[in-house]
């Protein structure tokens, strides 16, 4: 039986320039999909013509759109990323390990969201408040020992009011004890790729072995927004009242900038004033992490400056939608001559504002692909670059299966391949 995809040793990989997303730039030379099933010699000839045309045109655009240096803010560390692509837009010591203070509660929330998603707990579960949770120092929701509080109320108390007591109560309900829950936090952190973080508690109260980085916090914020949109709205709630005590969200950007919809503040003597903020304008999301400023005002002003910088000088474009046919591949000895290729997820690119016409999309495909083909099987590589600098490289996958052809199809294609 034939392999799923075979490449004859004497054949080489062919490269084709393809349409770039739903809004193709006019300078781009595009090879129609029909050409992809032509004989390889003709394809190579057309490729070199295309390459010559593209090189001639792109010579005019030798420079990227200029981007100034990021604003100077009084922080020990910061990172600004695009919320869709994760592209780094600005940074200062983003991998320096620092005390995260109450930003820790983002990880606490993520672990609770996972437990909710997996059916281990429910929003309407009533949690009996332990003495340990009630006695927890720092910012509080003011739950009372022995009272029964719903998981949803505790989440709002932790997210909006930054309640340390709520954090401990959630941990005990989810994992039995706070220390066991901290182990779960670290396991999820490892899964997310937060390689420079270690959590000893759910609150961010000082501990010598409790630390994170701006980069890890950005990874975590992006994961919460993407994985749990049904809960993310709570990060934009401006105030929450429990036990007749109403407390405002400490994220002052929620009042200052209507595009800001999260996420979390933090402050201890060791950590200074910290803020993870997220905003969306015209379909572009930007996430800022600011650690170790001297005051609440400086963390707010610094975060606002970074967000404005990201939106002003960068843009995010959708190139291809999930499941959209990007190209088609000629499959020999299969039931159908061609198989559509695409991506399992939407593909975005983050670039300097105004430089989309300089983005190039290239498909690298083996000269010979032999069936059968399974749905989801990688068959080609898609490379996206800006002025020759590669931004993205990922496989294009078969959007549908293409089984073995009949005896006649296999025989006919075998003869054609022999003489080609």
Give the active site residue among 77, 91, 102, 278. 102
Determine the pLDDT at residue 417. Answer: 83
Lowest mean pLDDT, pick from 52-66, 119-133, 272-286, 318-332: 52-66
13 within 8 A of 47, measured Cβ to Cβ: no
Domain endpoint, select from 268, 293, 318: 293
* Cα–Cα dist 295/301, whole Å: 10
218 and 116, same structural domain? Answer: yes
58 and 99, same structural domain? Answer: no
Give the active site residue among 162, 167, 212, 303. 162
307 within domain boundaries: no
270 and 185, same structural domain? Answer: yes
pLDDT at 225 over 80: yes
341 and 239, same structural domain? Answer: no
Query: What is the domain-level CATH number for residue 93?
Result: 3.40.710.10
45 and 91, same structural domain? Answer: no
338 and 288, same structural domain? Answer: no
Query: What is the domain-level CATH number for residue 353?
Result: 2.60.410.10
216 and 183, same structural domain? Answer: yes
Give the active site residue among 5, 76, 77, 105. 105
Q: Report how many domains make up the chain.
A: 2
102 tagged catalytic: yes
Determine the pLDDT at residue 227. Answer: 97
105 tagged catalytic: yes
Categorize the per-residue pLDDT at 18 as very low, low, confident or very high, splitting at 50, 70 and 90: low
Categorize the per-residue pLDDT at 19 as very low, low, confident or very high, splitting at 50, 70 and 90: low
Residue span of the structural domain in which 196 resides: 78-293
100 and 216, same structural domain? Answer: yes
69 within domain boundaries: no
27 within domain boundaries: yes
57 within domain boundaries: yes
Task: State residue 206 phi and psi, 5-degree precision.
Answer: -55, 135
Domain endpoint, select from 293, 316, 336: 293
DSSP 210-249: -BB-HHHHHHHHHHHHHH-HHHHGGGG--EEEETTEEEE-
- What average pLDDT score do residues 297-316 get? 97
First-to-last C-alpha distance (Å) of the chain? 22
5 within domain boundaries: no
198 within domain boundaries: yes
68 within domain boundaries: no
269 and 174, same structural domain? Answer: yes
- Mapped onto helix, strand or coil, the DSSP state of residue 358 is helix
pLDDT at 85 over 70: yes
* Cα–Cα dist 277/257, whole Å: 11
pLDDT at 22 over 60: no
161 and 30, same structural domain? Answer: no
pLDDT in tens, 360-390: 989 898 889 998 999 999 999 999 999 888 9
Determine the pLDDT at residue 65. Answer: 60
Instruction: Label residue 67 exposed, middle or buried (CB < 10 Å: 0-12, 13-18, 19+).
Output: middle
pLDDT in tens, 136-188: 999 999 999 999 999 999 999 999 999 999 999 999 999 999 999 999 999 99
407 and 341, same structural domain? Answer: yes
Domain endpoint, select from 246, 272, 293: 293
pLDDT at 311 over 80: yes
* Cα–Cα dist 339/397, whole Å: 10
268 within domain boundaries: yes
129 and 57, same structural domain? Answer: no
β-strand pairing of 369-370 with 327-332 = parallel
- What average pLDDT score do residues 250-262 get? 97
Average pLDDT value for the chain: 86
């Amino acid at each position: 039986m034939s392999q799923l995809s075979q490449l004859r040793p004497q054949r080489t990989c062919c490269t084709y320039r393809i349409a770039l997303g739903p809004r193709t730039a006019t300078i781009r030379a595009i090879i129609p999909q029909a050409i992809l099933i032509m004989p390889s010699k003709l394809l190579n000839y057309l490729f070199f013509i295309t390459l010559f045309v593209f090189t001639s045109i792109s010579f005019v655009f030798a420079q990227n759109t200029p981007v100034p240096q990021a604003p100077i803010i009084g922080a020990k560390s910061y990172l600004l990323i695009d919320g869709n692509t994760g592209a780094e837009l600005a940074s200062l010591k983003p991998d320096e390990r620092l005390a995260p203070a109450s930003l820790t509660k983002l990880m606490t929330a993520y672990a609770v969201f996972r437990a909710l998603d997996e059916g281990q707990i429910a929003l309407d579960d009533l949690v009996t408040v332990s003495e340990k949770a009630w006695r927890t120092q720092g910012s509080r929701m003011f739950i009372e020992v022995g009272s029964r509080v719903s998981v949803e109320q505790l989440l709002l108390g932790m997210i909006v009011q930054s309640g340390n007591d709520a954090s401990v109560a959630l941990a005990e309900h989810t994992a039995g004890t706070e220390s066991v829950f901290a182990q779960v936090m670290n396991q999820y952190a490892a899964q997310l790729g937060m390689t420079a973080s270690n959590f000893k508690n759910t609150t961010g109260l000082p501990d010598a072995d409790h630390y994170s980085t701006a980069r890890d916090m950005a990874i975590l914020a992006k994961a919460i927004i993407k994985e749990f949109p049904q809960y993310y709205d709570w990060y934009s709630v401006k105030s929450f009242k429990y036990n007749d005590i109403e407390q405002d969200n400490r994220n002052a950007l929620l009042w200052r900038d209507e595009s800001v919809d999260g996420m979390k503040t933090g402050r201890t003597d060791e950590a200074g004033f910290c803020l993870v903020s997220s905003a969306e304008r015209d379909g572009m999301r930007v996430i800022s992490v600011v650690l170790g400023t001297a005051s609440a005002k400086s963390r707010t002003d610094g975060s606002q400056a970074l967000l404005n910088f990201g939106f002003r000088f960068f843009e995010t474009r959708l190139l291809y939608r999930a499941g959209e046919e990007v190209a088609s591949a000629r499959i020999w000895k299969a039931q159908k001559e061609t198989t559509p290729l695409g991506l399992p997820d939407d593909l975005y690119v983050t670039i300097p504002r105004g430089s989309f016409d300089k983005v190039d999309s290239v498909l690298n495909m083996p000269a010979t692909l032999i069936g059968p083909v399974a749905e989801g099987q990688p068959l080609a590589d898609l490379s996206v670059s800006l002025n020759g600098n590669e931004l993205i490289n990922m496989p294009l996958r078969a959007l549908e299966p293409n089984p073995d052809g009949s005896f006649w199809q296999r025989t006919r294609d075998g003869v054609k391949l022999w003489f080609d």
